[in-house]
Amino acid sequence: MSLLYLIVAIPAASAAVLLLGGRLADRWGHLLGAIAPIASFVVGLVAFVQLANGTDEALTQRLFSWIDVGSFHVDFALLFDPLSAVFVLLITGVGSLIHIYSIGYMDHDERRRRFFGYLNLFVAAMLTLVLADDYLAVFLGWEGVGLASYLLIGFWQHKVSAAVAAKKAFVVNRVGDVGMALAIMLMFTTFGSTSFEGVSAGMDQATSGTATALGLLLLLAACGKSAQVPLQSWLLDAMEGPTPVSALIHAATMVTAGVYLVTRSNFIYDQTEVAQTAVVIVGLVTLLWGAVIGCAKDDIKKVLAASTMSQIGYMMLAAGIGPAGYAFAIFHLLTHGFFKANMFLGAGSVMHGMNDEIDMRRYGALRGAMPVTFATFAVGYLAIIGFPGFSGFWSKDKIIEAAFGENLLIGVGALVGAGITAFYMTRLMLMTFISERRWTKEAHPHESSLVMTVPLIVLGALSLLGGVLLFNGWIVDWLEPVVGPEEHAELPIPATMITILVFLVVLVGAAVAFVLYGRDKVASNAPARVSPFTKAARADLYGDALNEVALMRPGQYLTSSLVYADNRGVDGAVNGLAAFVGGTSGSVRRWQSGFVRSYALSMLGGSALLLLAVVAVKLA
């Protein structure tokens, strides 16, 4: 029997032990929790080597039949193909590092065992998502990661803000899930199958309307999970969760599930230009949206969260371009997984040293107190802005090039995004590690322990060297069996020019930040008198305000008026009838006995009716 199932089964079993084990597991729970993803990683690595050296396009394992009704069949079956393989390694690899880091980060939390239980649950669900070979089974993992995200955002649920943010994340994701559920139903109705194999086999016979509908429904699902406009509003609030959660779930893995879904469904998107264009537009809007928000935030985690939205926007943009972009979407997804996890954990290390302060206006000059955190963070910084040689340079450059190949306007949008990214990330670096001290009295910054810094160093190395995945076009060739051969579009300007242009724009962005935050003192309180643009960016570009006006308030009005109507209207009529039949006396007791009597009477009447019918039939 293939051991593939162990990849999912190990973290799932560990989660069960940790969550059901109770206090018995408190002493060693975190160790079991950290070993589980490492074990999965090892199994995943073995499978990866087997896949790379073998001749098969994928390793598969059929476990058992899940649902079987009429022509509706769904199996639990695992598909370890090149696309799943890189995800398995990313999830378990980065996941393991974050688990190890969490041993230190959550050291003082009395509910640490449960934290690890939830993290393992997340890993198991995420692995189900990427290993499933059927959309309905993907949906199982999809909602499973949603649940884990809910539990972890709300981990410190005694805080109202955390509990509200958790609920918001789940509900907004459910809006996306409607798209996923309907897409699966449409697949079943159209193809009689919901498996990747069944859908892709029938796709060329499907009408373009069906293809477009499927593409748009899956895009809705992707928008929810990947925090893309218009379902972006939950991600910034999700930073209420402990920082390792932000690193693993809300940066490196779960939020990229939307990109996975679009790339996995390449056989659908290749049939529909409308849906592809929609993906590109969503990606472009979100990459700018997130970047603009990132410029105005003082909360270090929110800057990183806005940046995550923006970077996933780049990936969506690339995935929407089609065969010219799929491989680069996944490439950027991997490098982003490295450098963003690196920076989130770095931010956690800073918070750890700064008495859980999150306001960058209370940081400054931390490079001396936390040299390892600073050095690794700096590598992540250079990677995300796309400094030549660092991993992000290779992956972002390819996406911007593909964007120019698609359309000049989209290329310019992606280029501008790179400039803004350089601005807000330089601002973050300056306010946190450079500039002057603005620490509060309680803060005594110190470097974190080894259990936290070693994962930082490993992730820092990956952020630096992640570009090797592109060496000799490896990532493109590797993914070819899944997404098809790369297409080269006609570029309006030479590729080298684009690279130089990107570098210049990045320099400008960084320089502007340096002028604004590097030379003068940074105010330790956010200035109140700011431009309308800053105000808008601080308010997340009014995403929440819009939701409130368009959905929440009308919804509340609708439910409260329905509750009123249900109590007075429908019920009132019945009560009125009751009072009429039961007599107008106010005494419930008499009313009640009146009813029992009339009930008995009616039974008698019914019996009489039955007798009459018998007589009538006999006579007839």
Partner 1 sequence: MTGSETTVPWLTILAVLPLVGAAVVLLLPKGTAIAKQVTLGFSLVALAVSIAMAAKFDVEGGFQFVEQYNWIDSFGAHYAVGLDGLGLLLVLLTTILTPVVILASWYDSDGGRWSANTFFGWILVLEGLSIGVFAATDVFLFYVLFEATLIPIYFLIGGFGGPRRSYAAVKFLLYSLFGGLLMLASVVGLYVASAGNDGGPSYLLEDLMSTDIGTTTGRWLFLGFFIAFAVKAPMWPVHTWLPDAASEATPGTSVLLVSVLDKIGTFGMMRFCLNIFPEASRWATPVVITLAVISVIYGALLAIGQQDIRRLIAYTSVSHFGFIVLGIFAMTSQGQTGAAFYMFNHGLSTAALFLVTGFLVSRRGSKMIDDYGGVEKVAPVLAGTFLLAGLSSLSLPGLSPFVSEFLVLAGTFTVSIPAAVIATLGIVLAALYILYMYQRTMTGPLHPATELLPDLRAREVAALAPLLLLIVVLGLFPKPALDALNPTVDRLLQQVGVEDPQPTVASAETGS
Nearest approach, Cβ of residue 415 and partner 1 (Å): 37
Closest to 83 in 3D by CA, of 269, 263, 221, 324:
263
Considering the complex, state which of residue 26 and residue 359 has its C-beta at the smaller distance from partner 1. 26
Close Cβ partners of 102 (under 8 Å, ≥ 6 residues apart): 30, 34, 115, 116, 119, 242, 244
Specify the DSSP element, H or E, that contains 75. Answer: strand 72-80
CB of 242 to partner 1, least distance (A): 16
The CB density around residue 9, as the number of other CB atoms within 10 Å, is 17
Residue closer to partner 1 (CB basis): 73 or 437: 73
Least CB distance to partner 1 at residue 478 (A):
25
Nearer to partner 1, 52 or 610 (CB): 610
- Decide: 154 and 166 in contact? Cβ < 8 Å: yes
Toward partner 1, which CB reaches closer, 519 or 618?
618
Closest C-alpha among 57, 63, 87 to residue 75? 63
Nearer to partner 1, 210 or 276 (CB): 210
Looking at the Cβ atoms of 126 and 327, the one nearer to partner 1 is 126
Minimum CB distance to partner 1 smaller for 231 or for 360: 231
CA atoms within 13 A on the CB side of 549: 4
Our CB check for partner 1 shows the closer of 485 and 605 to be 605
Distance from the first to the final alpha carbon of the chain: 74
Q: Which is closer to partner 1, CB of 201 or CB of 546? A: 201
Burial code (b: 16+ CB inside 10 Å, e: under 16) for 392-413 equals: bbbbbbbbbbbbbbbbeebbeb
Locate 537 and state its tokens: 């960016």
Whether the Cβ atoms of residue 82 and residue 479 lie closer than 8 Å to each other: yes
Nearest Cα to Cα of residue 243 among 358, 143, 360: 358
Of the two residues 542 and 595, which places its CB atom closer to partner 1 in the complex? Answer: 595
Tell me which DSSP letter residue 178 carries.
Answer: H
Task: Report CA-CA distances (Å) from 596 to 120, 127, 169, 581, 607.
Answer: 57, 60, 51, 12, 17
Residue placing its CB nearer to partner 1 in the complex, 549 or 581:
581
Place of tokens 């796709």: 203
Give 14 or 307: the residue with its C-beta nearer to partner 1: 14
Nearer CB in complex with partner 1: 145/280: 145
Rounded CA gap, 563 and 53, in Å?
A: 64
CA distances 242 to 239, 300, 342, 569, Å, are 7, 13, 15, 48
Q: Are 434 and 518 in contact (CB under 8 A)?
A: yes
Angle at 416 between CA 413 and CA 422, to 5 degrees: 145
Taking the complex as a whole, the smallest distance from the CB of residue 88 to partner 1 amounts, in Å, to 20
Determine the Cα–Cα distance for residues 395 and 331; give it in Å rounded to an integer: 6
Shortest reach from residue 175's CB to partner 1, in Å:
6
Rounded distance between C-alpha atoms, residue 290 and residue 462, angstroms = 24
What CA–CA distance (Å, rounded) separates 71 from 54? 35
Cis peptide, bond prior to residue 230, ω within 30 of zero: yes
Smallest distance, partner 1 to C-beta of residue 213, A: 10
| Best CA proximity match to 4, nearest among 130, 140, 134 | 130
Give min distance, CB of 184 to partner 1, in A. 7
**Quick one: 497 or 570, whose CB is closer to partner 1?**
570
DSSP string covering 157-169, please?
TTSHHHHHHHHHH
Q: What ranges in 154-207 are assigned the alpha helix state H?
A: 160-191, 196-202
Per DSSP, the residues of 333-373 read HHHHHHHHHHHHHHHHHHHHHTTT--BGGG---TTTT-HHH
CA–CA gap between residue 117 and residue 21 (Å, rounded): 10
Sorted by sequence, the CB contacts under 8 Å of residue 504 that are 6+ apart come out as none
CB of 418 to partner 1, least distance (A): 36
Q: Which is nearer to partner 1, 575 or 585 (CB)?
A: 575
Residue 110: Cβ-neighbour burial (10 angstroms; 0-12, 13-18, 19+): exposed
Min separation Cβ 278 and partner 1, Å: 19
